[in-house]
Chain A
Amino acid sequence: MITMDLLAIDLAYGLEKLLLIGGIITVSLIVAMYTTYAERKVAAWMQDRRGPNRAGPFGLLQPVADGLKLFFKEEIIPLTSNKTLFVLGPALAMVTAMLTSAVIPWGSSIHIFGRDVSLQIADVNIGILYVFGVVSMGVYGIMIGGWSSNNKFSLIAAVRGASQIISYELAMGLSLIALLMMTGSLSLKTIVQQQMEGGWNIIYQPLGFLIFLICVFAECNRTPFDLPEAENELNFGYHQEYSSMKLGLYLFSEYVNMFISSAVVSTLFFGGYDIPFVDEAALSLSLGANTVALLGFGALFTKILFFLFLFIWVRWTIPRFRYDQLMDLGWKKLIPLALANMLITALVILWLNK
């Protein structure tokens, strides 16, 4: 079967996927760019300030100015650093941040030029495992960056970051197992389709969602779990020795990560591209399938934007955890909770199917 599928890949199919990949990368980069702007703006509003408003109307060109500034900065590679790894670190961070977007269904399919174009780069049947695999790779970006700079602070920060991410990945995975027992599928597309018929997963898995959300915050190194880049404890964290666009890539990959994580959360728990309270099948008869697909993409995007706002909102509300508290929360609270959630879900499923 695999060989048959490979042979069936024609030129148009490749082109279609290439365009889709290009589109999604562009969208995630632009969203990440403007998340930095939103971050500063929302932070300012929450502190009764105005935020950036000098570059362009409402300061909308601020991210461009920031990017240009980073590009023009001097590129410094420390003398005692491991140069290959030093360059590899930020690249890896960025690549792993972008890779996850491949399995997220950004919408149902669009009918164009006589072809059905699925708005998902790859409908892998192990979608969630792929997400986990790639997210775990993200640790390497931090670890390699911190280790290769040959600086104690960077190394401490990198070790902190790595252990934090690994600890929270456990709880994250366990919280998702309960969800997967309900859906019975690892494919993100199937999960979304199930939610379109049977209601969003947040209704059935509120505790699972909460645990997952907390773990996502930790995975993205966002406040209250931003210990790897705690400025006042570790100077700047694992990217202390980095300058110019290499630093930019690290900072930027964090925002791309936020965007992708928001997309994953929306897909898993909030119905993905499902438009709430609307029957898509009925709507597509009156509006046409393409319009509905675009509307669905809009719905997903709205959900993503809400979660991005949540990320920023939480960051400017609560202070940072102490490191032992962080570990305490991860290992002693979230993992038992996730296990309990898993057991209860299993029992309920068994009871309903008896």
Chain B
Amino acid sequence: MASLTNRAKVLEQKPMSFMERLYLPAIFKGMAITFAHMFKKKATINYPEEKRPFSPVFRGLHVLNRDEEGRENCTACGLCAVACPAEAITMEAAERKTSEEHLYREEKYAAKYEINMLRCIFCGLCEEACPKDAIYMSETFAPSNFTRKGFIYSKDELLIPNPVNDKEKYDIAKGMREAQLKNK
């Protein structure tokens, strides 16, 4: 039968030669290889002390952003929830009162904003959909938890630290990304 391609290789099944049947040369060769591997660079890193840097495009845990005056950017428009293919985002909108102008940037804000990290597929579509630059994805991932409820992140967990009255933490949160970008 003519072969379809001429890439077929004929399998050779010669009986083993005397040296091959001795096995020992092959074993010594293998032992030389394993011995050489002892001095190679280790693939493992000492995890908690050393961490591998994430790629700058890594999509990790969500962060709800604030502006320079510490006001929340989110206006609860719901575009992120609509964009979300996993339906992980829920929110409830509320109207800003006059006394709350230092808290929220615009007249409408999210009274409740929850992301279910077990549903989230970290595709980053919410980040793309947001017209107010209110949600973006950071470079950490969701830590483990004992309950399913613990994976539903509310505003407390999502909001970035306030740059006005919690400058230090805000800088750390911001700086992590910038420092990593610099390292690249």
Chain A residues engaging chain B, CB cutoff 8 angstroms: 42, 45-50, 53, 313-314, 316-318
Contact = CB atoms under 8 A, between A and B. Distances in A.
Given A48-B43, A50-B44, 20 more contacts: A42-B38, A45-B37, A45-B38, A45-B42, A46-B34, A46-B35, A48-B37, A48-B41, A48-B42, A48-B44, A49-B42, A49-B43, A50-B42, A53-B46, A313-B31, A314-B27, A314-B31, A317-B27, A318-B27, A318-B30
A53 B43 CA distance: 15
A314 B31 CA distance: 7
Contact of A48 (B27, B35, B40, B46): B40
A318 B31 CA distance: 8
Q: Which 6 A-B pairs have the closest CB atoms?
A: A45-B38, A46-B34, A317-B34, A48-B43, A317-B30, A50-B44
Contacts of A53: 46
Contacts of B46: 50, 53
A42 B31 CA distance: 13
- DSSP class of A's interface residues: helix, strand, loop or mixed? loop
A49 B37 CA distance: 10
A316 B34 contact: yes
17 contacts: A45-B38, A46-B35, A46-B38, A48-B37, A48-B42, A48-B43, A48-B44, A49-B42, A49-B44, A53-B46, A316-B34, A317-B27, A317-B30, A317-B31, A317-B33, A318-B27, A318-B30
A118 B39 CA distance: 41
B7 to A, nearest CB: 31
Interface of B: 27, 30-31, 33-35, 37-38, 40-44, 46
Nearest to B48: A54
Contact of A47 (B30, B31, B37, B41): B37
B35 A313 contact: yes
Contacts of A45: 37-38, 42
Contacts of B38: 42, 45-46
Contacts of B33: 317
Contacts of B44: 48-50
Nearest to A41: B38
A138 B4 CA distance: 61
Contacts of A46: 34-35, 37-38
A313 B34 contact: yes
B1 to A, nearest CB: 36
Nearest to B43: A48
A48 B40 CA distance: 7
Nearest to A314: B31
B33 to A, nearest CB: 8
A314 to B, nearest CB: 7
Contacts of A316: 34
Nearest to A46: B34
Nearest to A43: B34
Contacts of B43: 48-49
Contacts of A47: 37
Nearest to A224: B27
Interface centre among A42, A53, A318 (most CB of B within 10 A): A318
Contacts of B40: 48
